[in-house]
Structure 1
Amino acid sequence: MPTAEPPPADRTPPAPWPRKRYVALGDSQTEGVGDGDDTTGLRGWADRLAELLAPHNPGLEYANLAVRGRLAGHVRSLQLAPALALRPDLATVVAGMNDLLRPRFDADEVAADLEAVFAALTAQGARVATVTFPDISRIAPLARPFAPRVTALNDRIREAARRHGVVVAETAHPPVVTDPRLWSPDRLHASPLGHARIAAAVAHALGVPGSDDSWARPLPPVPPPTRAGAAAAELRWAAAFLGPWLARRVRGRSSGTGRHPKRPDLRPL
């Protein structure tokens, strides 16, 4: 991990509002996969956050540089320079889940890439926010071997964020974040409701006027699935999503191959 010193205790944090230029960096979650489709268009939590920001930030302009399949290193090498060129005064940086799912995963390496992005954006004066990740084994039991990786990455994200004054939306802990209704059928991307909850969580962490912790409250209860029903759902998920995902990994292909950011320039909502 980088050995950057934490900011001085008397450092004055950036004034929270108003913000005029919001730039989102990341992978498929920030692009909005799971909230809309490639025919009708993707919305996603970053778009939703921009919508929450707009009433309190007249003239807000928003760019989204995220592309599905990107690793943390890609965010650093491909998205950071364009983001800096846009001179954001607010940026969100969410990446690392694609790294975590790869056979070779190094939490320190991933965190170093994220920290480099944090450092460059905050040094330019941007207010930066990120999130922690939920335990994916609570969403897809077959993903149980990845649980220690999630913990390791979250710990390092928190450490890097503290060193650079980055706001962290702690979306790892509330039980609601693993409610199946917040996830799309592939269990890798949030559903529209999940994207709305992520946007609300980041807004609350940033102190957006009118935001609160209601994003972490549980949904109304529903009857739990039977054991047979749960087992059948796991088999359907493995056949429909896990198998094709593994096949892409074996072929060395990414879901983002040939794709470009959906909103590369700052413009009004």
Structure 2
Amino acid sequence: MVLPCLALKSKIVSDSGFSRYVAIGDSQTEGLWDGDDTVGVIGFADRLAALLDARYPGLRYANLAIRGKRVIDVLNDQLPQALAMEPDLVTVCVGMNDVTRPGRTFTKAMADLDDVYQQLADSGATVVTTSFPDVAKMLPVGRLIGSRIQQVNEVITRAAQRHGFGLVDLYNAEAMNEPSIWSHDRMHASTRGHILFAEAAAEALKLPGSNHDWAMPSGEEVRDSFAERMYAQAQWTRSLLIPWIWRHARGRSSGDGRDPKYAELQPVSEQVRMAHQSA
């Protein structure tokens, strides 16, 4: 949510660009709510791949992200697959499913996230990661997980600084307060949100022509009445919380039985190019 390993792990863009890009993570990187399961989901990583391929033709791209996955799933499953592809670019966005999961596994998940970052740094690939937005501004229930959001963002930010990773800071971006950035559940990005996330990743990579406009408010009227927030809360409860409780009771995840949409490095698909061009 990539090139042969480079010696300078803080390097952002090589003179020749990127040739092997692997995206790892959960639903945000898979592309949930940018498209659907009938026509196919796209998402910010696909859009970034299209942007890179337009600038550096011949890019090969894999997206291993699967909805519902936690840090431990990325560490044990996706990361080894990604590193075996010898990427020169990796994007990683994971941790929200650990933030929202009740229980005592959160502290372990943060240690595992540090491990993910360390292994990526050791690989020599260029890495872009992202902090999480302030969910408390979008959902009443967000206040219950606000401290965890701050904790995971601290782990992410410190790792980015320590290893020289590109960082997309969603927590402090004013645009993230606009409802049109988010899908009906206010936890996943809308198509507009995924487009902006791709632009943010381009800025983190210091790609020519990129800028910080993605983080600026658009002028959209932000109406945040109690009724609207409660409606969003009801949508979140109906579409996320209740299905999660039912799956958890059966020991299942929303990603169970799903395969990565691009499990191997391949040319950027025409579908992704067309979606990027029409954005």
User: Does the Cα contact within 8 Å between 1:107 and 1:156 map onto a contact in 2?
Assistant: no
Classify the secondary structure of the residue corresponding to 1:222: coil
User: Does the Cα contact within 8 Å between 1:21 and 1:62 map onto a contact in 2?
Assistant: yes
- Alignment partner, residue 16 of structure 1: 13
Q: Which amino acid counterpart does residue 13 of structure 1 have in structure 2?
A: S
Classify the secondary structure of the residue corresponding to 2:79: helix
Distance (whole Å) between structure 2 residues aligned to residue 216 and residue 195 of structure 1: 13
- Gap regions ≥5 residues in structure 1: 1-10
Q: After TM superposition, what 4+ stretches of structure 1 lie above 6 angstroms from structure 2?
A: none
Q: Deviation string for 1:197-239 (max 9, x for gaps)?
A: 1111111011011111110111233372654455455445434
Q: Deviation string for 1:148-176 (max 9, x for gaps)?
A: 10001101111122222222111111122
User: Does the Cα contact within 8 Å between 1:183 and 1:191 map onto a contact in 2?
Assistant: yes
Change (3 A) 1:180 1:125: same
> What is the number of equivalent residue pairs in this alignment?
259
Percent sequence identity over aligned pairs: 44
Q: Deviation string for 1:5-45 (max 9, x for gaps)?
A: xxxxxx78325131110000101110011101111011001
Classify the secondary structure of the residue corresponding to 1:130: strand
- Alignment partner, residue 157 of structure 1: 156
Map 1:75-154 to 2 at 5 A: 75-154=74-153
User: Does the Cα contact within 8 Å between 1:23 and 1:90 map onto a contact in 2?
Assistant: yes
TM-score scaled by structure 1? Answer: 0.89
User: Does the Cα contact within 8 Å between 1:111 and 1:157 map onto a contact in 2?
Assistant: no
- Superposition RMSD in Å: 2.0
Q: Which amino acid counterpart does residue 118 of structure 1 have in structure 2?
A: Y
Classify the secondary structure of the residue corresponding to 1:199: helix
Map 1:50-61 to 2 at 5 A: 50-61=49-60
- Alignment partner, residue 202 of structure 2: 203
User: Does the Cα contact within 8 Å between 1:89 and 1:126 map onto a contact in 2?
Assistant: yes
Distance (whole Å) between structure 2 residues aligned to residue 117 and residue 223 of structure 1: 37
Shift of 1:107: 4.9
User: Does the Cα contact within 8 Å between 2:139 and 2:232 map onto a contact in 1?
Assistant: no
Classify the secondary structure of the residue corresponding to 1:16: coil
Distance (whole Å) between structure 2 residues aligned to residue 12 and residue 69 of structure 1: 29
User: Does the Cα contact within 8 Å between 1:25 and 1:64 map onto a contact in 2?
Assistant: yes
Distance (whole Å) between structure 1 residues aligned to residue 123 and residue 141 of structure 2: 42
Distance (whole Å) between structure 1 residues aligned to residue 12 and residue 223 of structure 2: 46
TM-score scaled by structure 2? Answer: 0.86
Distance (whole Å) between structure 2 residues aligned to residue 140 and residue 230 of structure 1: 6
User: Does the Cα contact within 8 Å between 1:22 and 1:50 map onto a contact in 2?
Assistant: yes
Which has the higher mean CA deviation after the structures are superposed, 251-260 or 51-60?
51-60
Change (3 A) 1:262 1:235: closer
- Gap regions ≥5 residues in structure 2: 1-7, 269-279
Change (3 A) 1:234 1:171: closer
Shift of 1:71: 0.5
